[in-house]
Structure 1
């Protein structure tokens, strides 16, 4: 019997590439996205390689949409074996400058969506006493970064959420939890992040402007001088997601590049994959 995988945010980037890789590996893939009008590229890939991928509408900011997608899979196949929480969006703006609506949006897309998707699949994984939940977070879920504090805050929340679940759900119900932590990704995700700041004319102003200019100059310089080192492709990150899914003993967390490892070293050196901490928490509380 094929393992079923539900992947969110598959219209482009890591989600699209992961859908293709999982299907080629023999999974039945349910590729979900908020806007089905953006499914053109994925549909072309499905037709080209005759991939076992079904496209579903799923908006991670809407609980009813999530529940409907999960119920569709259960009614068709009766099981969900892997959930990949991939949907997310970049955001770079000062706390002072961000509107209430923007703060809610960046938290909903990057954190609440993970919780609601996980909440929707857990009952089925618990009943089948097997499952795997992988959340694509970020090095920003371990290291706070300039002008990204709201995004990092949401990703930090995902890391803590997954870590908390791993401390008691895994042993009781044979459900594994993992965070995949990319650094820079050369995909539509980065375009979106920049679009929320510079393109829309919402870059930092006033006393923040000199710092923001310094930040942007450093970002451009880093991209031009070491793009191959800093920025990964969607395929490269998707390959790590698949490796975690295929791992009999998956890590609690894993970075996807040397650049990411170096950035997070002070927080991860003594416990690179997060398993020591989870075990320590289990011993302390259970």
Structure 2
């Protein structure tokens, strides 16, 4: 019997690459996103849910996930960057929108998953969670919150290995926005992204899969940056 994997944000970028990778490995992949990736594979089961609408997550997914019940691996991948701008320019509503998806949606999902048998959870974090770069306030604060969320749930989900993992810089519309649309003289992080190594999504997916194979050496609740291992 194929082992079950759940991937949020499966329709593009890293989520799509992870979905493709695990389908190629013969897993049964349950994908959640607001856009259908149109993957034709008998082992891919898609459910359309807008995770930004956090108040509806439990109504949409409680019975669905608990009926599946057993997961080898969960990738909490869905997330958003928000606009790159100074804190003074950034409104609370803009920050709340990023927190809804990057933190609160994952809280709702983990509440459901506590009632399932789950072996591993990898939440996609970022180096931005610990590196404060000008203009990244919404993203950095929300990813720091995600790291602590994973740490806290590791104390409650004692039979599950939970890790917050920064996968490195990946070629996606999000990083394209930073590299090509942001004034690098004002926001110097854009210059760093232009000159640093950019992974293809499938390359990053493979690195995450390899990390999981060696996850026993990491304490549940840890934050890991793949660039440091």
TM-score, normalised by the number of residues in structure 1: 0.69
Which structure's residues are more often helix, by fraction? Answer: 1
Q: CA RMSD in A?
A: 2.6
Q: Secondary structure at the match of 1:123?
A: coil
After TM superposition, the runs of 4+ consecutive aligned structure 1 residues lying more than 3 A away are 191-195, 215-218, 244-248
Question: Counterpart of 1:169?
Answer: 156
Question: Counterpart of 1:280?
Answer: none
Q: Note if 1:79 corresponds to 2:98.
A: no
Matches for 1:101-116 after TM superposition, within 5 Å: 101-116=93-108
Which segments of 5 or more consecutive residues in structure 2 lack a partner in the other structure?
Answer: none
Matches for 1:21-170 after TM superposition, within 5 Å: 21-36=21-36, 39=37, 43=38, 46-47=39-40, 50=41, 52-61=43-52, 62-75=54-67, 77-91=68-82, 92-125=84-117, 130-166=118-154, 168-169=155-156
Which segments of 5 or more consecutive residues in structure 1 lack a partner in the other structure?
Answer: 204-211, 262-271, 273-286
The structure whose Rg is larger is 1
1:22 CA displacement: 1.4
TM-score, normalised by the number of residues in structure 2: 0.84
Q: Secondary structure at the match of 1:184?
A: coil
Q: Secondary structure at the match of 1:2?
A: coil
1:73 CA displacement: 4.0
* Alpha-carbon distance between aligned partners in 1 of 2:147 and 2:44, rounded to the nearest angstrom: 28
Which structure's residues are more often strand, by fraction? Answer: 2
Cα displacement string for residues 166-217 of structure 1 (whole angstroms, at most 9, x for unaligned residues): 2x235xx41110111033221123245679xx5xxxx7xxxxxxxx652446
Query: Could you say if the C-alpha distance between residues 232 and 51 of structure 1 is closer, same or farther in structure 2, counting changes exceeding 3 Å?
Result: farther
1:58 CA displacement: 2.1
1:59 CA displacement: 2.0
Q: Residues 119 and 160 of structure 2 are in contact (CA less than 8 Å); yes or no, is this contact kept in structure 1?
A: yes
Cα displacement string for residues 47-103 of structure 1 (whole angstroms, at most 9, x for unaligned residues): 3xx45111111222224235523522443x342332211011113122211123211
